[in-house]
């Protein structure tokens, strides 16, 4: 359905001696900002584990063919990685990326009690003598630093698997264009892509 709207073009690799008719995949069309930012046209949905764009499209539009409408509305280019992965696929992804066990359980980063990422910290070792002139600083990913006047400051270790899981979970809340506007989206897209 999606690529069926794209125009065809002649493509050649041999200085125009022969050619082949192919779909023009270089064409692009998207939503205008007023539409994207107007929540009256959307409802929000939390993608459940294992649901694909086609399944979500079938849930909301009674057809899997409008999966591309959902992907466009959420600015998803590559559904393999931009769409929330199932737990099984996430584990496989982490094993490929980090090299399996025990690598996926090694520390990726540290956070504080408020879940801010701590890039680095300097402080006193446990049971070390402390003078009034000693200071403990932590720095955050945005470059800001914080002077701690009353250590100990609690730092939490986040494993590589926990880190990737948090990123994946953040992708679960998506925008679904309301069914009343889908036919307009499809028609407008078809016109724009063929201009």
| 187 in a structural domain | yes
| 101 in a structural domain | no
Residues 148 and 188 in one domain: no
Quote the tokens at residue 45: 């949905």
Residues 122 and 64 in one domain: no
Residues 133 and 62 in one domain: no
Residues 53 and 71 in one domain: yes
| 96 in a structural domain | no
pLDDT recorded at residue 39: 76
| 146 in a structural domain | yes
Band (77; pLDDT cuts 50, 70, 90): confident
Q: For the chain, give the mean pLDDT.
A: 76
Number of domains in the chain: 2
| 89 in a structural domain | no
Residues 26 and 79 in one domain: yes
Q: What is the pTM of this model?
A: 0.64
d(CA 85, CA 79): 9
| 22 in a structural domain | yes
Residues 175 and 149 in one domain: no
Residues 112 and 56 in one domain: no
Residues 14 and 77 in one domain: yes
Task: Give tens-digit pLDDT for 42-75.
Answer: 899 999 999 999 999 999 999 998 998 899 889 8
> Could you list the residue range(s) of the whole structural domain that residue 115 is in?
107-162
Residues 17 and 75 in one domain: yes
Residues 23 and 79 in one domain: yes
| 100 in a structural domain | no
| 79 in a structural domain | yes
Residues 74 and 17 in one domain: yes
Residues 143 and 116 in one domain: yes
CA distances to 89, 91, 127, 146 from 80, rounded to whole Å, are 10, 14, 49, 38
Task: Give tens-digit pLDDT for 164-190.
Answer: 999 999 999 999 999 888 887 777 766
**Is there a contact between 172 and 130 (Cβ–Cβ < 8 Å)?**
no
């Amino acid at each position: 359905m999606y690529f069926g709207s794209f125009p065809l073009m002649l493509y050649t690799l041999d200085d125009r001696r022969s050619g082949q008719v192919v779909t023009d995949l270089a064409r692009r069309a998207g939503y205008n900002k007023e539409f994207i930012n107007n929540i009256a046209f959307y409802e929000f949905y939390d993608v459940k584990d294992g649901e694909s764009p086609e399944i979500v499209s079938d849930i909301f539009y009674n057809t899997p063919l409008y999966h591309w409408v959902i992907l466009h509305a959420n600015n998803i280019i590559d559904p393999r990685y931009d769409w929330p992965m199932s737990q099984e696929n996430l584990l496989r992804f982490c094993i490929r990326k980090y090299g399996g066990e025990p690598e996926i359980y090694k520390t990726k980063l540290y956070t504080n009690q408020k879940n801010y990422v701590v890039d680095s910290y300097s402080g006193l070792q446990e049971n070390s003598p402390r003078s009034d002139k000693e200071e403990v600083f932590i720095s955050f990913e945005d470059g800001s630093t914080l002077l701690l006047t009353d250590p100990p400051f609690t730092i939490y270790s986040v494993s590589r698997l926990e880190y990737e899981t948090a990123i994946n979970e953040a992708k679960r809340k998506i925008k679904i264009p309301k069914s009343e506007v889908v036919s307009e989206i499809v028609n407008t897209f078809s016109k724009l892509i063929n201009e």
